[in-house]
Structure 1
Protein backbone atom coordinates (compact mmCIF):
# COMPACT_ATOMS: atom_id res chain seq x y z
CA UNK A 1 0.00 0.00 0.00
CA UNK A 2 2.89 2.39 0.76
CA UNK A 3 4.44 1.70 -2.65
CA UNK A 4 1.08 2.35 -4.32
CA UNK A 5 0.72 5.66 -2.47
CA UNK A 6 4.28 6.67 -3.41
CA UNK A 7 3.64 5.77 -7.06
CA UNK A 8 0.53 7.94 -6.99
CA UNK A 9 2.45 10.86 -5.46
CA UNK A 10 5.21 10.59 -8.07
CA UNK A 11 3.10 10.27 -11.21
CA UNK A 12 -0.43 11.57 -10.62
CA UNK A 13 0.32 15.24 -11.35
CA UNK A 14 2.10 14.47 -14.63
CA UNK A 15 -0.63 12.03 -15.67
CA UNK A 16 -3.22 14.70 -14.88
CA UNK A 17 -1.50 17.29 -17.09
CA UNK A 18 -1.14 14.71 -19.85
CA UNK A 19 -4.79 13.67 -19.79
CA UNK A 20 -5.95 17.26 -19.41
CA UNK A 21 -4.06 18.23 -22.56
CA UNK A 22 -6.06 15.59 -24.40
CA UNK A 23 -9.56 15.90 -22.89
CA UNK A 24 -9.52 19.61 -21.94
CA UNK A 25 -11.59 19.09 -18.81
CA UNK A 26 -10.20 19.21 -15.28
CA UNK A 27 -12.90 16.94 -13.90
CA UNK A 28 -12.52 14.33 -16.64
CA UNK A 29 -8.72 14.40 -16.36
CA UNK A 30 -8.96 13.78 -12.60
CA UNK A 31 -11.38 10.91 -13.21
CA UNK A 32 -9.11 9.36 -15.82
CA UNK A 33 -6.08 9.56 -13.52
CA UNK A 34 -8.13 7.88 -10.79
CA UNK A 35 -9.14 5.18 -13.27
CA UNK A 36 -5.49 4.64 -14.20
CA UNK A 37 -4.56 4.03 -10.58
CA UNK A 38 -7.58 1.78 -10.06
CA UNK A 39 -6.32 -0.25 -13.01
CA UNK A 40 -2.85 -0.38 -11.44
CA UNK A 41 -4.38 -1.65 -8.20
CA UNK A 42 -6.35 -4.30 -10.09
CA UNK A 43 -3.23 -5.63 -11.84
CA UNK A 44 -0.82 -5.11 -8.94
CA UNK A 45 0.19 -8.78 -8.92
CA UNK A 46 1.44 -8.48 -12.52
CA UNK A 47 3.37 -5.19 -12.16
CA UNK A 48 6.70 -6.98 -11.86
CA UNK A 49 6.28 -8.13 -15.48
CA UNK A 50 6.16 -4.55 -16.79
CA UNK A 51 9.48 -3.18 -18.06
CA UNK A 52 8.77 0.55 -17.79
CA UNK A 53 5.92 1.34 -15.40
CA UNK A 54 5.94 5.05 -16.20
CA UNK A 55 5.42 4.43 -19.93
CA UNK A 56 2.81 1.80 -19.11
CA UNK A 57 0.79 4.26 -16.97
CA UNK A 58 0.98 7.02 -19.58
CA UNK A 59 -0.17 4.52 -22.20
CA UNK A 60 -3.15 3.55 -20.05
CA UNK A 61 -3.94 7.24 -19.54
CA UNK A 62 -3.71 7.84 -23.29
CA UNK A 63 -6.04 4.94 -24.02
CA UNK A 64 -8.56 6.03 -21.37
CA UNK A 65 -8.44 9.60 -22.74
CA UNK A 66 -8.95 8.43 -26.32
CA UNK A 67 -11.85 6.22 -25.20
CA UNK A 68 -13.42 9.19 -23.43
CA UNK A 69 -13.00 11.40 -26.51
CA UNK A 70 -14.51 8.72 -28.76
CA UNK A 71 -17.51 8.27 -26.45
CA UNK A 72 -18.08 12.02 -26.14
CA UNK A 73 -17.13 13.26 -29.60
CA UNK A 74 -20.42 15.09 -30.16
CA UNK A 75 -20.84 16.54 -26.68
CA UNK A 76 -17.26 17.50 -25.89
CA UNK A 77 -16.84 20.71 -23.89
CA UNK A 78 -13.51 22.49 -24.06
CA UNK A 79 -12.44 23.97 -20.75
CA UNK A 80 -11.12 27.48 -20.46
CA UNK A 81 -8.29 26.49 -18.13
CA UNK A 82 -4.97 27.44 -19.64
CA UNK A 83 -2.17 24.91 -19.88
CA UNK A 84 0.69 25.23 -17.50
CA UNK A 85 3.82 26.08 -19.39
CA UNK A 86 6.04 24.54 -16.75
CA UNK A 87 8.48 27.44 -16.98
CA UNK A 88 9.98 29.08 -13.93
CA UNK A 89 10.72 32.75 -14.47
CA UNK A 90 12.50 34.92 -11.98
CA UNK A 91 12.90 38.65 -12.33
CA UNK A 92 14.78 41.11 -10.24
CA UNK A 93 13.84 44.45 -11.74
CA UNK A 94 10.36 45.63 -12.78
CA UNK A 95 11.44 45.53 -16.45
CA UNK A 96 12.61 41.93 -16.11
CA UNK A 97 9.33 40.98 -14.40
CA UNK A 98 7.28 42.55 -17.22
CA UNK A 99 9.44 40.90 -19.89
CA UNK A 100 9.21 37.58 -18.06
CA UNK A 101 5.41 37.77 -17.78
CA UNK A 102 5.11 38.68 -21.47
CA UNK A 103 7.49 35.90 -22.41
CA UNK A 104 5.60 33.26 -20.40
CA UNK A 105 2.22 34.41 -21.75
CA UNK A 106 3.52 34.38 -25.33
CA UNK A 107 5.01 30.93 -24.87
CA UNK A 108 1.72 29.62 -23.46
CA UNK A 109 -0.18 31.03 -26.46
CA UNK A 110 2.32 29.53 -28.90
CA UNK A 111 2.21 26.14 -27.17
CA UNK A 112 -1.60 26.17 -27.29
CA UNK A 113 -1.49 26.99 -31.02
CA UNK A 114 0.78 24.06 -31.87
CA UNK A 115 -0.89 21.19 -33.71
CA UNK A 116 -2.36 18.73 -31.15
CA UNK A 117 0.25 15.99 -31.53
CA UNK A 118 3.11 18.49 -31.56
CA UNK A 119 1.76 20.18 -28.41
CA UNK A 120 1.32 16.85 -26.65
CA UNK A 121 4.84 15.73 -27.52
CA UNK A 122 6.30 19.07 -26.41
CA UNK A 123 4.49 18.83 -23.07
CA UNK A 124 5.57 15.27 -22.44
CA UNK A 125 9.21 16.00 -23.20
CA UNK A 126 9.64 19.49 -21.74
CA UNK A 127 7.13 19.54 -18.91
CA UNK A 128 6.98 15.89 -17.86
CA UNK A 129 10.66 15.20 -18.53
CA UNK A 130 10.04 12.05 -20.54
CA UNK A 131 12.64 10.78 -22.99
CA UNK A 132 11.93 10.66 -26.70
CA UNK A 133 11.75 6.86 -26.63
CA UNK A 134 9.28 6.95 -23.74
CA UNK A 135 7.06 9.46 -25.54
CA UNK A 136 7.25 7.37 -28.70
CA UNK A 137 6.15 4.28 -26.75
CA UNK A 138 3.29 6.14 -25.05
CA UNK A 139 1.96 7.62 -28.28
CA UNK A 140 2.82 4.57 -30.40
CA UNK A 141 4.93 6.58 -32.84
CA UNK A 142 8.54 6.58 -33.97
CA UNK A 143 11.22 8.31 -31.85
CA UNK A 144 12.13 10.18 -35.04
CA UNK A 145 8.60 11.58 -35.18
CA UNK A 146 9.02 12.76 -31.59
CA UNK A 147 12.33 14.42 -32.51
CA UNK A 148 10.83 16.10 -35.58
CA UNK A 149 7.77 17.34 -33.68
CA UNK A 150 10.01 18.76 -30.95
CA UNK A 151 12.06 20.59 -33.59
CA UNK A 152 8.85 22.07 -35.04
CA UNK A 153 7.65 23.17 -31.59
CA UNK A 154 10.96 24.78 -30.69
CA UNK A 155 11.16 26.51 -34.07
CA UNK A 156 7.65 27.96 -33.70
CA UNK A 157 8.29 29.12 -30.15
CA UNK A 158 11.60 30.74 -31.16
CA UNK A 159 10.04 32.46 -34.19
CA UNK A 160 7.30 34.22 -32.21
CA UNK A 161 7.25 38.00 -32.91
CA UNK A 162 7.11 38.99 -29.23
CA UNK A 163 10.08 36.81 -28.43
CA UNK A 164 12.06 38.40 -31.25
CA UNK A 165 11.10 41.87 -29.98
CA UNK A 166 12.12 41.05 -26.41
CA UNK A 167 15.46 39.57 -27.42
CA UNK A 168 16.25 42.36 -29.89
CA UNK A 169 15.52 45.00 -27.24
CA UNK A 170 18.00 43.24 -24.97
CA UNK A 171 20.53 43.13 -27.78
CA UNK A 172 20.70 39.33 -27.75
CA UNK A 173 18.76 38.46 -30.92
CA UNK A 174 20.11 38.92 -34.43
Structure 2
Protein backbone atom coordinates (compact mmCIF):
# COMPACT_ATOMS: atom_id res chain seq x y z
CA UNK A 1 0.00 0.00 0.00
CA UNK A 2 2.88 2.37 0.73
CA UNK A 3 4.10 1.72 -2.79
CA UNK A 4 0.73 2.84 -4.17
CA UNK A 5 0.77 6.00 -2.06
CA UNK A 6 4.30 6.77 -3.25
CA UNK A 7 3.23 6.23 -6.85
CA UNK A 8 0.20 8.48 -6.39
CA UNK A 9 2.37 11.19 -4.84
CA UNK A 10 4.85 11.01 -7.74
CA UNK A 11 2.05 11.27 -10.29
CA UNK A 12 0.50 14.11 -8.31
CA UNK A 13 3.79 16.04 -8.48
CA UNK A 14 4.16 15.49 -12.23
CA UNK A 15 0.62 16.71 -12.85
CA UNK A 16 0.97 19.72 -10.55
CA UNK A 17 4.45 20.83 -11.58
CA UNK A 18 4.66 19.82 -15.23
CA UNK A 19 1.02 19.39 -16.34
CA UNK A 20 2.08 15.90 -17.38
CA UNK A 21 -0.78 14.26 -19.30
CA UNK A 22 0.86 10.84 -19.17
CA UNK A 23 1.00 11.02 -15.37
CA UNK A 24 -2.65 12.15 -15.36
CA UNK A 25 -3.59 9.11 -17.46
CA UNK A 26 -1.60 6.78 -15.18
CA UNK A 27 -3.33 8.21 -12.11
CA UNK A 28 -6.69 7.75 -13.81
CA UNK A 29 -5.92 4.12 -14.67
CA UNK A 30 -4.70 3.45 -11.13
CA UNK A 31 -7.65 4.93 -9.24
CA UNK A 32 -10.58 4.61 -11.66
CA UNK A 33 -11.70 1.06 -10.71
CA UNK A 34 -12.03 1.80 -6.99
CA UNK A 35 -13.62 5.20 -7.54
CA UNK A 36 -16.10 3.69 -10.00
CA UNK A 37 -17.18 0.94 -7.58
CA UNK A 38 -17.47 3.54 -4.82
CA UNK A 39 -19.64 5.84 -6.96
CA UNK A 40 -21.80 2.88 -8.10
CA UNK A 41 -22.67 2.19 -4.48
CA UNK A 42 -24.35 5.58 -4.31
CA UNK A 43 -25.85 6.22 -7.74
CA UNK A 44 -26.70 2.55 -8.45
CA UNK A 45 -25.79 2.89 -12.11
CA UNK A 46 -22.45 2.02 -13.70
CA UNK A 47 -22.98 4.62 -16.44
CA UNK A 48 -23.77 7.43 -14.02
CA UNK A 49 -20.90 6.32 -11.80
CA UNK A 50 -18.60 6.56 -14.82
CA UNK A 51 -19.77 10.14 -15.35
CA UNK A 52 -19.17 10.95 -11.68
CA UNK A 53 -15.62 9.59 -11.83
CA UNK A 54 -15.00 11.48 -15.07
CA UNK A 55 -16.15 14.65 -13.31
CA UNK A 56 -13.72 13.88 -10.48
CA UNK A 57 -10.81 13.69 -12.91
CA UNK A 58 -11.94 16.78 -14.81
CA UNK A 59 -11.96 18.65 -11.49
CA UNK A 60 -8.53 17.21 -10.71
CA UNK A 61 -7.16 18.63 -13.95
CA UNK A 62 -8.82 21.99 -13.33
CA UNK A 63 -7.10 22.34 -9.96
CA UNK A 64 -3.78 20.81 -11.05
CA UNK A 65 -1.88 23.94 -10.03
CA UNK A 66 -3.00 23.48 -6.41
CA UNK A 67 -2.41 19.72 -6.19
CA UNK A 68 0.77 20.01 -4.15
CA UNK A 69 -1.32 21.45 -1.32
CA UNK A 70 -3.33 18.23 -1.07
CA UNK A 71 -1.77 15.91 1.49
CA UNK A 72 -3.56 12.68 0.52
CA UNK A 73 -4.80 12.77 -3.06
CA UNK A 74 -6.54 9.38 -2.87
CA UNK A 75 -8.70 10.46 0.07
CA UNK A 76 -9.34 13.79 -1.67
CA UNK A 77 -10.56 12.04 -4.84
CA UNK A 78 -12.83 9.63 -2.95
CA UNK A 79 -14.29 12.59 -1.04
CA UNK A 80 -14.80 14.44 -4.30
CA UNK A 81 -16.52 11.39 -5.80
CA UNK A 82 -18.82 11.16 -2.79
CA UNK A 83 -19.70 14.83 -3.08
CA UNK A 84 -20.40 14.56 -6.81
CA UNK A 85 -22.65 11.57 -6.17
CA UNK A 86 -24.51 13.40 -3.40
CA UNK A 87 -24.97 16.45 -5.64
CA UNK A 88 -26.20 14.29 -8.51
CA UNK A 89 -28.70 12.44 -6.32
CA UNK A 90 -29.95 15.64 -4.74
CA UNK A 91 -30.42 17.20 -8.16
CA UNK A 92 -32.03 14.10 -9.70
CA UNK A 93 -34.41 13.25 -6.94
CA UNK A 94 -34.93 16.66 -5.34
CA UNK A 95 -34.66 15.14 -1.91
CA UNK A 96 -32.30 14.90 1.03
CA UNK A 97 -28.91 13.45 0.27
CA UNK A 98 -28.70 9.65 0.22
CA UNK A 99 -27.35 8.20 3.42
CA UNK A 100 -24.79 5.42 3.52
CA UNK A 101 -27.47 3.04 4.77
CA UNK A 102 -29.43 3.56 1.53
CA UNK A 103 -26.41 3.00 -0.75
CA UNK A 104 -26.06 -0.21 -2.74
CA UNK A 105 -22.64 -1.53 -1.80
CA UNK A 106 -23.25 -4.83 -3.63
CA UNK A 107 -21.35 -3.37 -6.59
CA UNK A 108 -18.34 -2.84 -4.32
CA UNK A 109 -17.81 -6.57 -3.83
CA UNK A 110 -14.90 -7.28 -6.08
CA UNK A 111 -12.06 -9.75 -6.01
CA UNK A 112 -9.30 -9.05 -8.54
CA UNK A 113 -7.42 -12.27 -8.15
CA UNK A 114 -8.78 -15.03 -5.91
CA UNK A 115 -5.91 -17.32 -6.89
CA UNK A 116 -3.48 -14.83 -5.43
CA UNK A 117 -5.31 -15.18 -2.12
CA UNK A 118 -5.27 -18.99 -2.41
CA UNK A 119 -8.99 -19.08 -1.83
CA UNK A 120 -11.20 -21.65 -3.51
CA UNK A 121 -14.25 -20.65 -5.52
CA UNK A 122 -16.41 -21.98 -2.70
CA UNK A 123 -14.63 -19.78 -0.16
CA UNK A 124 -14.95 -16.76 -2.47
CA UNK A 125 -18.70 -17.38 -2.66
CA UNK A 126 -18.87 -17.65 1.13
CA UNK A 127 -17.01 -14.34 1.44
CA UNK A 128 -19.36 -12.68 -1.05
CA UNK A 129 -22.37 -14.05 0.82
CA UNK A 130 -21.00 -12.80 4.14
CA UNK A 131 -20.28 -9.36 2.68
CA UNK A 132 -23.76 -9.17 1.14
CA UNK A 133 -25.25 -9.84 4.58
CA UNK A 134 -23.48 -6.86 6.13
CA UNK A 135 -25.40 -3.62 6.62
CA UNK A 136 -24.75 -1.15 3.74
CA UNK A 137 -22.54 1.28 5.69
CA UNK A 138 -20.52 -1.60 7.08
CA UNK A 139 -20.00 -3.02 3.56
CA UNK A 140 -18.79 0.30 2.16
CA UNK A 141 -16.38 0.81 5.05
CA UNK A 142 -15.07 -2.76 4.72
CA UNK A 143 -14.48 -2.26 0.98
CA UNK A 144 -12.60 1.01 1.45
CA UNK A 145 -10.37 -0.43 4.17
CA UNK A 146 -9.74 -3.93 2.84
CA UNK A 147 -9.91 -3.45 -0.92
CA UNK A 148 -8.85 0.16 -1.42
CA UNK A 149 -6.30 -0.06 1.38
CA UNK A 150 -7.39 3.15 3.08
CA UNK A 151 -6.55 3.84 6.69
CA UNK A 152 -9.37 4.21 9.20
CA UNK A 153 -8.77 7.97 9.43
CA UNK A 154 -8.96 8.30 5.65
CA UNK A 155 -12.25 6.40 5.49
CA UNK A 156 -13.59 8.47 8.36
CA UNK A 157 -12.70 11.65 6.46
CA UNK A 158 -14.28 10.43 3.22
CA UNK A 159 -17.53 9.28 4.84
CA UNK A 160 -17.75 11.93 7.57
CA UNK A 161 -17.66 9.37 10.36
CA UNK A 162 -15.55 9.00 13.47
CA UNK A 163 -12.46 6.81 13.34
CA UNK A 164 -14.00 4.74 16.14
CA UNK A 165 -17.08 4.07 14.00
CA UNK A 166 -14.90 2.96 11.09
CA UNK A 167 -12.84 0.70 13.34
CA UNK A 168 -15.96 -0.84 14.86
CA UNK A 169 -17.58 -1.41 11.48
CA UNK A 170 -14.46 -3.16 10.14
CA UNK A 171 -14.36 -5.34 13.27
CA UNK A 172 -18.02 -6.26 12.84
CA UNK A 173 -17.53 -7.09 9.16
CA UNK A 174 -14.39 -9.11 9.84
CA UNK A 175 -16.03 -11.17 12.61
CA UNK A 176 -19.03 -11.99 10.43
CA UNK A 177 -16.90 -12.97 7.44
CA UNK A 178 -14.42 -15.03 9.47
CA UNK A 179 -17.27 -16.91 11.14
CA UNK A 180 -18.36 -18.25 7.74
CA UNK A 181 -14.91 -19.31 6.51
CA UNK A 182 -12.82 -22.41 7.12
CA UNK A 183 -9.70 -21.94 9.26
CA UNK A 184 -6.66 -20.87 7.26
CA UNK A 185 -8.67 -19.08 4.59
CA UNK A 186 -9.80 -16.37 6.98
CA UNK A 187 -6.21 -15.66 8.08
CA UNK A 188 -5.07 -15.19 4.46
CA UNK A 189 -8.01 -12.90 3.75
CA UNK A 190 -7.41 -10.73 6.78
CA UNK A 191 -3.75 -10.21 5.89
CA UNK A 192 -4.67 -8.61 2.54
| TM-score for the superposition, normalised by structure 2 | 0.70
Query: Structure 1 residues 82 and 59 mapped into 2: Cα distance closer, same or farther (>3 Å)?
Result: closer
- Does the 8 Å CA contact 2:38/2:108 hold for their aligned counterparts? no
Question: 2:111 matched to which residue of 1?
Answer: 86
Shift of 1:87: 6.1
SS at match of 1:15: helix
Q: Which runs of 5+ in 2 are unaligned?
A: 1-20, 95-102, 184-192
Of 133, 157, 161, which aligns to 1:141? 161
Of 108, 123, 129, which aligns to 2:149? 129
Shift of 1:82: 5.0
- Cα deviation, 1:23-66, whole Å, max 9, x if unaligned, reads 22111111111010011111111112211111110100011112
Of 124, 140, 151, which aligns to 1:120? 140
RMSD: 2.7
Question: 2:18 matched to which residue of 1?
Answer: none
Aligned length: 154
- Does the 8 Å CA contact 1:32/1:61 hold for their aligned counterparts? yes
Query: Structure 1 residues 114 and 71 mapped into 2: Cα distance closer, same or farther (>3 Å)?
Result: farther
State how far apart, in whole Å, the 2-side matches of 1:85 and 1:155 are. 19
Q: Which runs of 5+ in 1 are unaligned?
A: 168-174
Residues 16-165 of structure 1: matches in 2 within 5 Å? 16-73=36-93, 83-86=108-111, 88-90=113-115, 100-160=120-180, 163=181
- Cα deviation, 1:2-39, whole Å, max 9, x if unaligned, reads 22112212211111121122222111111111010011
Instruction: Give the number of the structure whose alpha-carbon radius of gyration is greater.
Output: 1
